[in-house]
Amino acid sequence: MKISAAESVVMEALWKRSPLTSEAIIGEVGEPQGWTEGTVKVLISRLLKKKAITATADGRRYLYSPAISRQAYVQSESQGLLDRLFDGRLAPLVSHLSDGDKLSDQDIAELKALIEKIGK
């Protein structure tokens, strides 16, 4: 499932707190993004069509909830990035990030700790 950058803003709001009404979603993401009510409703509609979110009737309104977990989405997007750009391999990605000092000392320390943990 492909979720656009704009759609992911709506998803983040729902992953943080759900279910939400469209009005609550608009309040959460509309103003900070500079989006109109119509823009947010289009994004909600697209996410429904993609089955990324669900809608449950609650009287005359709908309550929206994510249909996929954030963890599953991040895993899928991460793997897609690795597959498209690095032949599915993590080491070339880390090597690319290390070029030009893109990794901070903290990043390096965390990677070392992760490698040590994986090695055990």
If pLDDT is split at 50, 70 and 90, which confidence band does 98 have? Answer: confident
pLDDT top residue among 92 and 11? 11
CA 5 distance to own-chain centroid: 8
Write the pLDDT tens digit of every residue in 22-65.
Answer: 999 999 999 999 999 999 999 999 999 999 999 999 999 999 99
CATH architecture of 5-66: Orthogonal Bundle (1.10)
**The residue type at 119:** G
Domain boundaries, the chain: 5-66, 89-120
99 three-state secondary structure: coil
Is the overall model pTM greater than 0.95, yes or no?
no
The residues, ordered by sequence, that sit 6+ positions from 25 with a Cβ below 8 Å of its Cβ are 10, 13, 14, 40, 44, 64
Tokens representing 90? 């993590």
Tokens representing 48? 């429904």
Cβ neighbours around 109 below 10 Å, total: 11
Q: Which residues are 53's β-sheet partners?
A: 66
Write the pLDDT tens digit of every residue in 4-29.
Answer: 999 999 999 999 999 999 999 999 99
Alpha helices (runs of H) in 17-104, residue ranges in sequence order: 22-25, 31-33, 37-49, 70-86, 90-98
What stretch of H or E contains 64?
Answer: strand 61-66
